[in-house]
Amino acid sequence: MKVGIVEKPGVLKVVDRAEPEIKNAADVKIKVKRVGICGSDIHIFHGKNPFATYPRIWGHEFVGEVSAVGGGVQNVNVGDHVVVEPITFCGKCYACRQGRPNICENVNVYGVHIDGGCAEFVVLPSEKVHKLPVELPWDEAVLIEPFTIGAQACYRGNVQKGDYVLVMGAGTIGLTAAAMAKLYGGIVIVADLVDEKLEYAKGRGTDYIINSGRENMIERAREITGGMGPNVVIDAVCIKKTFEDAVMVTSAAGRIVELSFNEVPSEIAPVNIIKKELTICGSRLQTHRFPVVIDFINQHKLPLSGFVSKTFPINEMEQAFDYVDKNNAKVRKVVITI
């Protein structure tokens, strides 16, 4: 069967591998239909993901049809359409015992630490798959995982009905966070430097847009919120300045959610955290968010129109990565069809 691998940093290849077979009673075999290219896949390709090892079958955003099930599988049958929840965890460490397996000390992500979904077939434990309605188009189903990341950010930021939520960054993750914040009842403001991205965001879960290149983002966000400042700030840009701005702009009792692995320190005076009693938290991967997003997608509530920027067949995987690299400013999601 064909698989897409990052052989080593900078080298992508479609190669032939033996088809995986069911080994355990709890395994399912999936005929993969779509794989989304994530920013983190681009980082793996460029050798900039600190967790990736090589060679690696990339892909953690994947959906497909169940083609075989082990004797003990109960949650799905052959022919079912499924999305994969792409993490494994130990279940024993502190984080797992807290119900937060996404930050398990031994967490493995398919396509990063272990082989992922860019393959004609994958075999994995049935507990990793969620059943989807058969009428849901594959090009929409493949967006579920990115939306779980946005859902996690809202969950970490405890977005409540009526909260003002400022999302910094209108890239893929910023857009999913904005859309989920709206579904949770937030009044959503999105800030970015690129008009094209802001225009896309507008109406798709976003109430207000700010071009932070032309406008003073902090002043404008205060104005929109009647001087209070946003109650939740989701930082999907994650540079030195956006973290610092988040602390300054957030309302009293506000929450700040950081989303990236940036290693550049920000300068933040503790007084600015104390005086408003801010909660600052990280959001990594997702935990228990698949059922939430699948529920919204079943109700046709996710703003998916135009979200997939382009699709490529697996044979043109290199061109697909190149396309994402060269069109970084306008690409939302590029998808590989298998």
Binding site for Mn ion (CB under 5 A): 38
Nearest position to Mn ion, beta carbon: 38
Q: How far is the CB of 117 from Mn ion (least distance, A)?
A: 11
Find out whether the peptide bond into 137 is cis, omega within 30 degrees of 0: no
Neighbours of 135 (CB within 10 A): 7
Nearer to Mn ion, 38 or 259 (CB): 38
In our burial notation (b when 16+ CB lie closer than 10 A, e otherwise), range 281-312 reads eebbbbbebbebbbebbeeeebbbeebbbebb
Neighbours of 250 (CB within 10 A): 26
Q: How far is the CB of 159 from Mn ion (least distance, A)?
A: 20
Closest by alpha carbon to 108, among 81, 123, 127, 89? 89
Nearer to Mn ion, 231 or 286 (CB): 286
Nearer to Mn ion, 49 or 250 (CB): 49
Q: How far is the CB of 154 from Mn ion (least distance, A)?
A: 16
Which amino acid, 226?
Answer: G
Q: How far is the CB of 321 from Mn ion (least distance, A)?
A: 14
Q: How far is the CB of 201 from Mn ion (least distance, A)?
A: 19
Nearer to Mn ion, 38 or 141 (CB): 38
Q: How far is the CB of 147 from Mn ion (least distance, A)?
A: 10
Nearer to Mn ion, 172 or 225 (CB): 172
Nearer to Mn ion, 38 or 167 (CB): 38
Which amino acid, 218?
Answer: I
Closest by alpha carbon to 327, among 178, 201, 209, 172? 172
Closest by alpha carbon to 303, among 142, 182, 132? 182
Q: How far is the CB of 155 from Mn ion (least distance, A)?
A: 17
Nearer to Mn ion, 29 or 333 (CB): 333
Instruction: Enumerate the H helices of the chain as residue ranges.
Output: 39-45, 94-97, 138-141, 144-156, 172-183, 195-201, 217-224, 240-249, 270-274, 290-298, 317-326
The alpha carbon of residue 81 and the mean position of all alpha carbons in its chain are separated, in whole angstroms, by 20
